Amino acid sequence: MVQKVCRDKKGSDDLIFKKRQRPLIVQKLEALVGRLPENHPKRPLVEKDLVKRLAGYRGEKAVDFHLMDVPNKQSLILHDLRLKASSHYFQLDTIILTQTFIFLLESKNISGTLYFDENFQQMIRTYNEKETAFPDPFLQIQRQEKQLVNW
């Protein structure tokens, strides 16, 4: 069931539906880390995954703070929306609906210097003199747009 939640502490009746919550996978990883012995061979992998997912969640929460400035009564904001498209599901970090447009917002919380390589369709992060390749977030949002239109 979708719940209506006040967007700010001022008592505004502008609504955010489906308030963002700590992801279930983060809760599960936290529980697993708490149960794994310090010397377990998989513990570093679990901890690394937890740190990455917590950073993503914190990034989404940081964006939520700025969404409080979206004009009241002119928009509907849905967080962490999971929709079924025929045989598979797709997830949207945030979607803003108005009478005139739909805005998809994908959050990334990545430290370092970012370079968007259009030739290889990837994002390169330079951090502590080390380069790491990530999938192109522009392709991700384009894929989500197509999935939403098909949905």
pLDDT for position 5: 41
For 43-92, how does the pLDDT look when each residue is reduced to its tens digit (9 = 90+)? 999 999 999 999 989 988 888 888 877 766 678 888 888 898 888 899 99
d(CA 89, CA 111): 29
pLDDT at 17: 60
Nearest-angstrom CA–CA distance, 50 and 89: 23
State residue 72's pLDDT score.
62
pLDDT classification of 124: cutoffs 50, 70, 90: very high
Helix, strand, coil shares of the chain as percentages rounded to 5? 35, 30, 35
Give the pLDDT of residue 21. Answer: 84
> What is the arrangement of strands in the sheet containing 15-17, beginning at the earlier edge strand?
4-6, 15-17, 76-85, 88-97, 102-105
